[in-house]
Amino acid sequence: MNIVISGGGTGGHIYPALALIKEIKRHEPDSRILYIGTEKGLEAQIIPKEGIAFESVYITGFKRSLSFDNVKTVARFLKATRRAKRIIHDFKPDVVVGTGGYVCGPVVYAASALGIPTLVHEQNVIPGLTNKFLSRYTSRVAVTFSGSATYFPQGKTVVTGNPRATEVALADKDAGLASLNVPEGKRYVLIVGGSRGARAINEAVVDMAASFSDYPDYHFIYVTGEVHYEKTLEALQRNGKLPTNMTVRPFIYNMPEVLAGIDLIVNRAGASFLAEITALGLPSILIPSPYVTNNHQEKNARWLEAKGAARVIIESELSGSAMLAEIDEVLKDGKRIETMRSAAKALGQPDAATLVYNELKAIARA
């Protein structure tokens, strides 16, 4: 098959796309893939590094409040749709896939206008504006959570899970830890602030890092986000020498392998991330971002917490001492961590990528 995939803005839209591409290549090694994103999105950095052909369109998202900027966005949408049509016409795909983010709007819409089968994938419990708009035109809607199906047209909506879960479930945990050069025989805690990092989480880690030496059995792996790395590293060093049981990285590109080897993760509550940790049965402490549409991260986090798979700290209540206390509370209680691990595993969907691939095959034009 020839396949165009579009998704961007955050890792939550990009990594499911990458997982799906790997699944397609596993079934059809000779398939041709073209990724369409934006020049300024995270996808422009990640996709070319994976050796995947990349094209870009210029588009911005709609504001939910009345704004003159929305008039400009309509003009950009029309211009991006025209460019997407040219790209798609030249590539001649059998199917076009959107995994979220406003870049999918003109790409999937252009494909639909050209009569090419399309599929959009929704990762969150509460769908975004772009996917709700595209659901009127697309051939198929694949959702991660069954509760999302009510927001989309019946008859074209299927529950598949998130393709990222499949990639993580197959990861090599020994390779992940080895790539970080961490000491063996520890309890590994991974702290991340989402794909771009989060200032509030960085500040909490800086605040508590001096206490890490009091927990010699734990090794803390801390991912700052590339834009925050230099400033955060300087702050850590101002507070004293980095603890020997701490590894600091700006970004981790082999995250599935690293996730497979750790004991506990602290992170935001994006849907793709939840798919990863449930596929692995990984206990988590979730700090949902308060800056996302419809507060969907807290809804995601509370869903996991209600199932017994996670603990939740609201950002307004976040501090270094609060985070460290939660980490120690989970790790020191063997029964609790096993209960959380079992609860997370019960929610996992490790065959999600295969299910989405099967939907692509079903709708692809002959």
How many residues in the chain? 366
Q: Dihedral, CA atoms, 302, 306, 310, 312, nearest 10 degrees?
A: 40
Q: Tell me whether residue 11 is annotated as binding.
A: yes
Q: Tell me whether residue 10 is annotated as binding.
A: yes
Q: Is residue 56 helix, strand or coil?
A: strand
How far CA 105 is from CA of 21, 37, 178, in Å, comes to 20, 11, 40
Q: Tell me whether residue 123 is annotated as binding.
A: no
Query: Where are the strands (E) in 216-263, listed by range?
Result: 218-223, 246-249
Q: Tell me whether residue 124 is annotated as binding.
A: yes
- Other C-beta atoms lying within 10 Å of the C-beta of residue 316: 7
Phi (first) and psi of residue 97, to 5 degrees: -120, 135
Q: Tell me whether residue 339 is annotated as binding.
A: no
Q: What is the DSSP string of 75-94?
A: HHHHHHHHHHHHHHHHH--S
Q: Tell me whether residue 45 is annotated as binding.
A: no
> In the sheet where 53-56 sits, what is the strand order?
53-56, 32-37, 2-6, 95-98, 118-122, 140-143, 157-159
For 18, the token pair is 């990458």
Q: Tell me whether residue 193 is annotated as binding.
A: no
Indicate the burial class of 7 (C-beta count within 10 angstroms; 0-12, 13-18, 19 or more). buried
Cα 107 to the chain's mean position, in Å? 20
Distance CA 358, CA 356 (A): 5
Annotated binding site for UDP-N-acetyl-alpha-D-glucosamine: 10-12, 124, 195, 252, 297
Binding site: residue ranges?
10-12, 124, 195, 252, 297
